[in-house]
Amino acid sequence: MKLARDTWLIFQRQMMLVLRNPVWVIVGIIQPLYYLFLFGPLLKGALRLPSAQAYRIFVPGILVQLAIFGTFFVGFALISELRAGVIERSRVTPVSRLALLLGRSLRDVVSLLVQAAIITVLSIPFGLAVGLGDALLAFAVLGLIALMLSAASYAIALKLRSEDALAPLLNTVGIPILLLSGILLPMQYAPHWLATVAKWNPFSWAVDGSRALFAGHPGDASVWKSLLILGVLTVVTVSWAARSFAKSVR
Amino acid sequence: MIETIGLRKSFRVRKATVDAVRGVDLSVRKGEIFGFLGPNGAGKTTTLRMLATLIQPDGGEATIAGADLRRNPGEVRRRIGYVAQGGSTWDAVTAREELVLQARMYGIAKPEARQRAARAIESFELGEFADRKCQTYSGGQRRRVDIALGIIHAPGVIFLDEPTTGLDPQSRAHMWDEVRRLRSEGMTVFITTHYLDEADALCDRIAIMDYGEIVAEGTPDELKREVSGDVVTVGVPGAAEQAAKVLDGQPYVRQLESSEDTVRLYVNAGATAMPQILRTLDGAGVGLDSIELHRPSLDDVFLTKTGRSLRES
CA B45 to chain A, closest CA, distance in angstroms equals 14
User: Higher pLDDT residue, B190 or A40?
Assistant: B190
Which ipTM was obtained for this model?
0.86
How many other C-beta atoms are found inside a 10 Å radius of the C-beta of residue B60? 18
What's the average pLDDT block by block, 10 residues per block, for chain A (250 residues)?
93 92 78 79 76 83 89 91 91 91 95 90 85 92 95 92 88 85 77 85 90 90 92 94 76
- What average pLDDT does this structure show over B217-236? 84
pLDDT at B176: 92
- pLDDT tens digit string along B138-147? 988 999 999 9
A75: left (phi over 0), alpha (psi -120 to 50) or beta: alpha
Closest chain A residue by Cα to residue B155: A93
Nearest Cβ partner for B82 among A9, A17, A92:
A92
- Please, which pLDDT band fits residue B203 given cuts at 50, 70 and 90? very high
Nearest Cβ partner for B84 among A9, A16, A85:
A85
DSSP state of B268: S
Residue B162 in this model has a pLDDT that exceeds 80: yes
Nearest Cβ partner for B74 among A6, A84, A94:
A94
Core vs surface per residue A167-195: b (16+ CB within 10 A) or e: eeebeeebeebbebbbbeeebeebeeeee
Query: B234 pairs with which residues across the strands?
Result: B263, B291
Show Cβ contacts of residue A7 under 8 Å, excluding neighbours closer than 6 positions: A96, A98, A99, A102, A103, A106
DSSP state of A185: S
Residue B90 in this model has a pLDDT that exceeds 80: yes
CB contacts of A85 in chain B (<8 Å) are 84, 86-89
Residue B304 in this model has a pLDDT that exceeds 80: no
Question: d(Cα B57, Cα B259) in Å, to the nearest integer?
Answer: 37
Q: Does B218 touch chain A (CB under 8 A)?
A: no
Interface touch A85/B82, C-beta < 8 Å: no
CB contacts of A8 in chain B (<8 Å) are none
How many other C-beta atoms are found inside a 10 Å radius of the C-beta of residue B260? 10
pLDDT at A79: 93
pLDDT at A244: 81
- pLDDT tens digit string along B28-70? 999 999 999 888 888 888 999 999 998 889 989 999 999 999 9
Helical spans, DSSP H, in chain B = 44-51, 73-79, 95-105, 110-123, 139-150, 169-184, 196-202, 220-226, 240-247, 270-283, 298-306
Average pLDDT of every residue of chain B? 88
- Give me the count of residues in chain A: 250
pLDDT at A248: 67
Most A CBs within 10 Å: which of B49, B105, B146, as the mutation test of the A interface? B105
Question: What interhelical angle do A51-71 and A132-160 show, nearest 10?
Answer: 30
CB contacts of B92 in chain A (<8 Å) are 17, 20-21
> What's the N-to-C CA distance of chain B in angstroms?
31
- What average pLDDT does this structure show over B253-276? 82
Q: Does B65 touch chain A (CB under 8 A)?
A: no
Residue of A205, A7, A92 lying closest to B74 (CA atoms)? A92
Residue B313 in this model has a pLDDT that exceeds 70: no
CA B56 to chain A, closest CA, distance in angstroms equals 9
Closest chain A residue by Cα to residue B73: A94
Sign of CA dihedral A169, A174, A176, A177: positive
Question: d(Cα B93, Cα A142) in Å, to the nearest integer?
Answer: 30
- Please, which pLDDT band fits residue B114 given cuts at 50, 70 and 90? very high
